[in-house]
Structure 1
Amino acid sequence: MSRGSFVFSPTALRSLAVDAEMLERQRHSRQARSCSGYMLKKEARDRAAQRLSVTPAAAAPPAVCRDAVVQNALYTGDVEVCSSSSPEARVNMVIEPQGGDMRWTPDGEGLWSLTYEQELTTPLHITASRGFTDCLCLLLQRGANVDLAPGGITALHEACENCQPECTRLLLLHGANANAVSEDGLMPLHFCSLPESLECAKYLLQYGAVINGRSLEEDDTPLHTAARNGLVEHVEMYLRYGAHVDRPNNQGLTALNAACAQPQERPLLDRYFRVCQILIGAGADVRTLDQDKRTPLHLACKNANPRDVPMHNILKVVWFKTSHQPERVVRALLNHGSIRLWPGNLPLHCSESPRTIEVLLNVYSRLKVNDKWVESVPPESYKAHQYFYDSVFALAQTPRSLQHLCRCRIRIVLDGRLHKAIPKLNLPTFLKNYLLLDYRGYVH
């Protein structure tokens, strides 16, 4: 028995054989759908017919390159070696890169072995993805097939994925299909998922990329991709080109839902806020429900983005989103008429965010503080925020202050209009902020 292999029982072998057949059928089905989607586009058919009439030899099966010198020249962008060792007959050769991810594969004799998963590529893919424009020009001048996709994606997909605008332009200039569909059902615009890919996206649109083209699996448009990745300039450009702002994908997500649903790191919060702002300004419906009946507001609160601002969603994530300033979300929701959360005892998941607890407590005129409140605060949290927690626990013997009671009364009178009415009151700024639950670091 070879290393990395093991024997299965007959029942397990039959099950694995069935699984293998099913996976193979799914792969062929996916390829068939990709082909079908590709051929249904008129531009793709016209370009394909034109290329076949000019370069009939392109239909011949490509050779496999195992020459280490040639491969090294391609991966390092050595145009001199490529020029001397790449005659016209070899520009469409297929290359099997060494390495890759490990996977279990059957050997046909009842054994499964760990082998490296190989992804086929071509000289055009290698040079386009790495930005080697001189080598790419050489290959294109010698008649390389711009839409060859032995690994399931074209060189244009790779150039866009790796943010290589000049290579993208060269491929399009030599007839690459701007709407080519990958094995996974994605067009090149779907591969523009980083801020640095903006120029690639521009070239694609200039060369006829379909702005509302959908992926085969998720039904995503390029606008979904841009919104999901917080790409402000991409979103602006796609909308200028006529992207449908409220088109849902197969999960019922519009671009706005997708932006709000995406997990957001703190440095990216402003970027996602700007995307949402642009989409709403373009007419995106803020009440659109996804397949789970969630609005963009539900999704934004789940991600604790204080710039996007329902209550339960944000409180569930406070403990691991403290750097996102979740108290700002809670405060905004309460000032816009959200339901209040009765603090039967201090929320354990909020203990690391005293400001969140402060906002929650300050919408009530009376609090019944008991021993459970003290017990619910972890010792390390109490030590880090002792001044605040001592002020909370002191309310067990002391009623709320007159100033706070006045605040509560005014908020009840203006319920539902707080965020609009209070800024118009003829009051000092610090009192307006106090009415809107500004933070003091203690309760009274």
Structure 2
Amino acid sequence: METRSRPSLFSDIAHGLGFWTDRSAVHEAAARGQVMQLQKLIHNGASVNIVAMDSITPLHEACIQGHSQCVRLLLDAGAHVDARNIDGSTPLCDACAAGSLECIKLLLEHGAMVNPPRFTFSPLHEACMGGHSECVQLMISEGASMEAHDGHYGTPLHVACARQHKDCARVLLNAGANVNAAKLHGTALHHAAKVENVQLIELLVEFGGNVLAKDSLGKKPVHYSTPGSSSALSLDFYESTPLSLQQLSRLALRVMLGRKALQVVAQLDLPNRIISYLCYTQQPTTDTCSR
């Protein structure tokens, strides 16, 4: 599929996307979730690909607000599923930001790119930014890149930690995200330390986060915590206390299995408590790895 370039202010929209306007009636109906009005406009021949001055299409508007019925109408009428706004975001980015599973599924059914060509945030970044862990799980299952970098935070894991969304971070880590991925040498642990979130720090260390990693300024995570705070004490403890052989063994197994770890571990002939430990879950149940 050919990648559409961002249209210039004075040019026609490439590939028949539509034409410039301040804001059309189709935009308004899509943004407000006015299904009957939108249906009437489409029936009367209104363009579903009309583009506002910020390159936002009606499909963007519907996804931003999570109006799944409007999304379905627009897609069925030929709306371009991967249209980009002036920031480079696609409707799938907006649906992930809104946390709308139904809109995401509709877009994917119509061929939306899970990993659009490189630009600021990916759909997975947006889901992490909003703290929508179910959307994060869905995007990962659809093949979203967990190591894609944005222009500010870094990977989706960096975003989840910077925004203190522990559930999203856990989903990413359990799916095999690189806990020590770095942007300017800064890791997710650096972000967790900056927001002084002890639970995030503990989670990242459990998954192999390197407390001794230095960023581009030569600072370790502990240097970003307030001296004497709970986060600083936690990082000091992890720096001075070697990981147990049990923890090292779990990390080695998870690294070796990668993204298939949960599925493979669930099939091992092991006691439930060991499976629970390997899957980083609290309840030792037989289906714990599939959660």
Q: Secondary structure of the equivalent of 2:59?
A: helix
Cα deviation, 1:173-200, whole Å, max 9, x if unaligned, reads 1111110111222111121254542221
The answer as to 2:225 corresponding to 1:314 is: yes
The answer as to 2:156 corresponding to 1:255 is: yes
Q: Secondary structure of the equivalent of 1:32?
A: coil
State the TM-score, normalized to the length of structure 2: 0.68
Partner of residue 228 from structure 1, selected from 119, 126, 129: 129
Match of 1:127 in 2: 29
- Check conservation: 2:147, 2:156, Cα contact below 8 A: yes
Partner of residue 8 from structure 2, selected from 22, 32, 43: 32
Partner of residue 72 from structure 2, selected from 150, 169, 177: 169
Q: Which amino acid aligns with 1:244?
A: S
Match of 2:286 in 1: none
Identical residues among aligned pairs (%): 32
Match of 2:108 in 1: 205
User: What displacement does 1:256 show?
Assistant: 0.8
Match of 1:287 in 2: 180
- Check conservation: 2:65, 2:98, Cα contact below 8 A: no
Q: Which amino acid aligns with 1:32?
A: S
User: What displacement does 1:249 show?
Assistant: 2.6
Compared CA separation, residues 294 and 304, structure 1 to 2 (3 A): same
Partner of residue 236 from structure 2, selected from 330, 334, 342: 334
Q: Which amino acid aligns with 2:154?
A: L
Match of 2:256 in 1: none
Match of 1:296 in 2: 188
Match of 1:356 in 2: none
- Check conservation: 1:185, 1:215, Cα contact below 8 A: no
Compared CA separation, residues 158 and 336, structure 1 to 2 (3 A): same
Cα deviation, 1:382-436, whole Å, max 9, x if unaligned, reads xxxxxxxxxxxxxxxxxxxxxxxxxxxxxxxxx3247979xxxxxxxxxxxxxxx
Q: Which has the larger radius of gyration?
A: 1
- Check conservation: 1:335, 1:419, Cα contact below 8 A: no
Partner of residue 416 from structure 1, selected from 242, 247, 262: 242
Q: Which amino acid aligns with 2:48?
A: V
Distance in 2 (CA, whole Å) between partners of 1:31 and 1:221 is 20
User: What displacement does 1:148 show?
Assistant: 0.5
- Check conservation: 2:96, 2:124, Cα contact below 8 A: no
Q: Which amino acid aligns with 2:173?
A: I
- Check conservation: 2:99, 2:132, Cα contact below 8 A: no
Higher relative contact order (CA 8 A, sep 6+): 2
Match of 1:278 in 2: 171
Cα deviation, 1:131-185, whole Å, max 9, x if unaligned, reads 1101011011111111100332100001111111111111111111110111222
Alignment of 1:404-443 (within 5 A): 415-417=241-243
Compared CA separation, residues 278 and 184, structure 1 to 2 (3 A): same
User: What displacement does 1:281 show?
Assistant: 1.3
- Check conservation: 1:214, 1:222, Cα contact below 8 A: no
Match of 2:267 in 1: none
Distance in 2 (CA, whole Å) between partners of 1:123 and 1:206 is 26
Q: Secondary structure of the equivalent of 1:288?
A: coil
Distance in 2 (CA, whole Å) between partners of 1:141 and 1:229 is 35
Match of 1:429 in 2: none
Alignment of 1:87-126 (within 5 A): 120-126=22-28
Bigger drift between 162-171 and 184-193 goes to: 184-193
Alignment of 1:376-387 (within 5 A): none
Distance in 2 (CA, whole Å) between partners of 1:196 and 1:231 is 6
Structure 2, gaps ≥5 residues long: 202-220, 248-291
Alignment of 1:340-419 (within 5 A): 415-417=241-243
User: What displacement does 1:31 show?
Assistant: 3.4
- Check conservation: 2:96, 2:104, Cα contact below 8 A: no
- Check conservation: 1:159, 1:167, Cα contact below 8 A: yes
